Amino acid sequence: MSKEKILIPELRFPEFVKDGEWEGKTVGQVYNFKVTNSLSREYLNYEKGKVKNIHYGDIHTKFNTLFDITNEEVPFINLDVSIENIKKESYCIEGDIILADASEDLNDVGKSIEIVNLNNEKLVSGLHTLLARQREKKLTIGFGGYLFKSNWVRKQIQKEAQGAKVLGISTGRIANVQISFPQKTQEQQKIASCLSSLDELITAHNDKLDALKDHKKGLMQNLFPHPSASSGSGTVAEPVEAKVPNYRFPEFEGDGEWEKKKLGEIGEPLMCKRIFKDQTTPNPENGIPFYKIGTFGKEADAYIPEDLYIEYMNKYNYPNKGDILISASGTIGRLVIYEGSPAYYQDSNIVWLGHDESLVTNEFLFYCYLMVNWQTSDGGVIKRLYNSDLKNVSICFPENDLEQQKIASCLSALDELITAQAKKIEQLQQHKKGLMQGLFPKTQSLRT
């Protein structure tokens, strides 16, 4: 009984449905590998040079799947670095695949880009990269970039990766990876065009999201008194000095200066009573979610008995609906609004301010917290936010709660737009993921 690989995608454009199976090869049969350099960042710059250089870190963090040099920020090799020994065949050409050969993350090892437009510029492949070039022109430009991002190819690359803390992939191992492609370049081009159009749409929506975030940042700088000098207390930098914002809603222009107070003057830092590890369980069936600092703002991975939750909630400090929970360790100043659902929070690592909302509303206080610079006075990183530190943070606020509400409503409406835009991007990314799974064969095995 044998097994035969079925090289037909689930989704196929109508005009190619009857074209039969895709051709199956190994990477080494379609591509050979060219020499790359090992220049680190210190030999690169973004201002001037004759040759640009692909650094593996940029493949991990910023370059698009289809690399168009006119749309990417690529460093030059410093002018004082000799390029005479670079062989002609080591210069990139359109259609080349460049892979990052090292990563600490399995999801990123072997991450790749395809060069689709060089704009007549000189480009080489640098540190921790592999440069693959087609032996014959079997794959149309644009198709290879998505082929190397398809599930089947990515899974093989991940299996071939070696290492403990840092994972690596070699040309020999990449050469053994199996790939498949339609024999007609028209079908390859159709797939590449479909996916690149979707990528362009995702990029446009990401640009819109960035614009909304920039707009919010600008609004906050104008709706709140502008931050200036740091506190001399030595722990948390003062968020504000001035007492009048640059912009004020017309109905409040004559209301005078905002009031400035330390958080300790308007309330007291609070936290839940301590829960010990042996009081928790990873089983969610009969428990209340217990949020540790590692799961703060995410999904809980620990739970406490309901009777213990009820006892502690009634006997000790517990947040009211709308209170703003603050991370006091790890990444300081992460915020979560308590929505009122049954939950418990790790003492001392997650705190909130117990205060009179007639002075400062929670809705407004949330945006005050966003203005706080959670750093030491010398710009260092706070490893622990103690109650005394939190009490020493100063905020400015209008005494009129209607003005507080107007500002909070304006910013929360913008936050809703930002959230909706982020969800739209997530939906597009999921749509792309589904398309990628359907447009490339899964190379399933069928018993015959």
Residue 443 domain flag = no
Structure tokens at 222: 């104008």
Contacts of 44 (CB under 8 A, 6+ apart): 53, 55, 75, 76, 77, 78
pLDDT at 313: 96
Q: Is the domain of 175 the same as that of 60?
A: yes
Residue 418 domain flag = no
pLDDT at 5: 65
pLDDT at 229: 40
Query: What does 61-129 look like in DSSP terms, one character per residue?
Result: HT--SEEETTTS--PEEPTTS--TT--GGGB--TT-EEEE-EESSTTTTT-EEEEEE-TT--EEE-TTE
CB contact burial 317-349 (16+ within 10 A = b; e otherwise): bbbeeebbbbbbbeebbbbbebeeeebbbbebb
3-state helix, strand, coil in the chain (%, to 5): 35, 20, 45
Q: Is the domain of 51 the same as that of 134?
A: yes
Contacts of 257 (CB under 8 A, 6+ apart): 243, 244
Give the Cα separation of 316 and 308 in Å (integer): 12
Residue 118 domain flag = yes
Residue 195 domain flag = no
**% the chain with pLDDT above 70:** 93
What single letter denotes the amino acid at residue 24? Answer: G
Residue 99 domain flag = yes
pLDDT at 235: 52
Q: Is the domain of 161 the same as that of 256?
A: no
- Give the residue from 320, 331, 390 showing the smallest Cα distance to 361: 320
User: Of 380, 399, 418, which one is at a domain's C-terminal end?
Assistant: 399
- Which single residue is written with the structure tokens 């704009």? 119
pLDDT at 438: 96
pLDDT at 375: 72
Q: Is the domain of 231 the same as that of 149?
A: no
Q: Is the domain of 124 the same as that of 260?
A: no
Q: Is the domain of 247 the same as that of 371?
A: yes
Give the Cα separation of 23 and 30 in Å (integer): 11
User: Of 119, 154, 181, which one is at a domain's C-terminal end?
Assistant: 181
State the DSSP code for 47.
S
What length is written for the chain? 448
- Which single residue is written with the structure tokens 């090869």? 25
pLDDT at 92: 98
Q: Judge whether 335 and 281 are in contact, CB under 8 Å.
A: no
Q: Is the domain of 36 the same as that of 166?
A: yes
Residue 162 domain flag = yes
pLDDT digits (tens, 9 = 90+) for 149-175: 999 999 999 999 988 889 999 999 999
SS3 of residue 324 by DSSP: strand
Q: Is the domain of 155 the same as that of 237?
A: no
pLDDT digits (tens, 9 = 90+) for 362-406: 999 999 999 998 876 566 677 899 999 999 999 999 999 999 999
- Which single residue is written with the structure tokens 């982020």? 422
CATH number of the domain where residue 30 is located: 3.90.220.20
pTM over 0.75: yes
Q: Is the domain of 135 the same as that of 236?
A: no
pLDDT at 447: 36
Residue 353 domain flag = yes
Q: Is the domain of 335 the same as that of 273?
A: yes
- Per the structure, the count of domains in the chain is 2
Residue ranges of the chain whose pLDDT lies below 50: 1-2, 229-234, 239-240, 445-448
Residue 221 domain flag = no
The distance from CA 304 to its chain's CA centroid, rounded to whole angstroms, is 31
Q: Is the domain of 238 the same as that of 134?
A: no
Give the Cα separation of 312 and 281 in Å (integer): 17
Q: Is the domain of 160 the same as that of 247?
A: no
pLDDT at 448: 34
Print the domain residue range for 386.
227-399
Helix axes 362-371, 401-439, angle to 10 degrees: 70
